[in-house]
A and B are shown apart, each in its own frame.
Chain A
Amino acid sequence: NAGVTQTPKFRVLKTGQSMTLLCAQDMNHEYMYWYRQDPGMGLRLIHYSVGEGTTAKGEVPDGYNVSRLKKQNFLLGLESAAPSQTSVYFCASSYLPGSNNEQFFGPGTRLTVL
């Protein structure tokens, strides 16, 4: 199993450009999450999904949209990139919530917005 994969690994955007980050998991997990990680801030939840066709806002959702059309994929979109969105983006998935909620992370996407 590949686990959780993310594409692309690196990207440089200009302010105002749009892009989509793809997360894929082959573990048949119901729950998927998008985080961003900035120095000194830890991981902050952007959006999450509790199943195919459902999405919900996390802690820092502004400027991002998501879609979960297929169970194995969770897409994160930036419609009009801003320098404040320069960050490392991690996708994660888990099978169960609560006490058994080990989240498995992808390798990350390093995004720079100029």
Chain B
Amino acid sequence: RKEVEQDPGPFNVPEGATVAFNCTYSNSASQSFFWYRQDCRKEPKLLMSVYSSGNEDGRFTAQLNRASQYISLLIRDSKLSDSATYLCAVNIADAGGKLIFGQGTELSVKP
């Protein structure tokens, strides 16, 4: 079993739709959680960190469920520009600050 797993998709949704991605992690010692966005053939960029109480940034909402060991990302009112691959990342508390990434979920928003 991979340490961090995502549904690879692709998710094909119309503009204005709400879409949710889940990411499960296997190591209960995981400490920090992130969502990165990666556009085609580009580098990943941080979309948002995921806090224990959940957090929101505009149309994006991130949630953490430690008991079930998953994080989620909800995108409301999808835009064409949201089309990208979304990577979840998990940091296990150690001195190296290493992130373990999921394989990414591809989202395609259609007109």
Is A45 a contact of B42 with CB atoms below 8 Å? no
Task: Write out the residue numbers on chain B whose beta carbons fall within 8 Å of the beta carbon of A44.
Answer: 101
**Nearest residue, chain A, Cβ from B104:** A42
Q: Which among A33, A35, A97, A106 is the interface contact of B95 at CB below 8 angstroms?
A: A97
Interface string of B86-111 (1 = CB under 8 A from A): 01000101111111111110000000
Q: Is B69 an interface residue (CB 8 A)?
A: no
Is A31 a contact of B97 with CB atoms below 8 Å? yes
Query: How far does the alpha carbon of A106 sit from the alpha carbon of B45 in the complex, in Å?
Result: 10
Is A103 a contact of B93 with CB atoms below 8 Å? no
From residue 17 to 55 of chain A, which have CB atoms closer than 8 A to chain B?
31, 33, 35, 40-45, 48, 50
Task: Write out the residue numbers on chain A whose beta carbons fall within 8 Å of the beta carbon of B93.
Answer: 98
Query: How far does the alpha carbon of A9 sit from the alpha carbon of B94 in the complex, in Å?
Result: 32
Task: Write out the residue numbers on chain A whose beta carbons fall within 8 Å of the beta carbon of B55.
Answer: none
Is B43 a contact of A97 with CB atoms below 8 Å? no
Q: Is A96 an interface residue (CB 8 A)?
A: yes
Chain A residues with a Cβ under 8 A of chain B: 31, 33, 35, 40-45, 48, 50, 56, 58-59, 90, 94, 96-99, 101-103, 105-108
What are 24 A-B pairs with beta-carbon distances under 8 A?
A: A31-B97, A40-B8, A42-B6, A42-B102, A44-B101, A45-B98, A45-B100, A48-B96, A48-B98, A50-B95, A90-B43, A97-B91, A97-B94, A97-B95, A97-B96, A97-B97, A98-B32, A98-B91, A99-B32, A101-B32, A103-B46, A107-B42, A108-B42, A108-B43
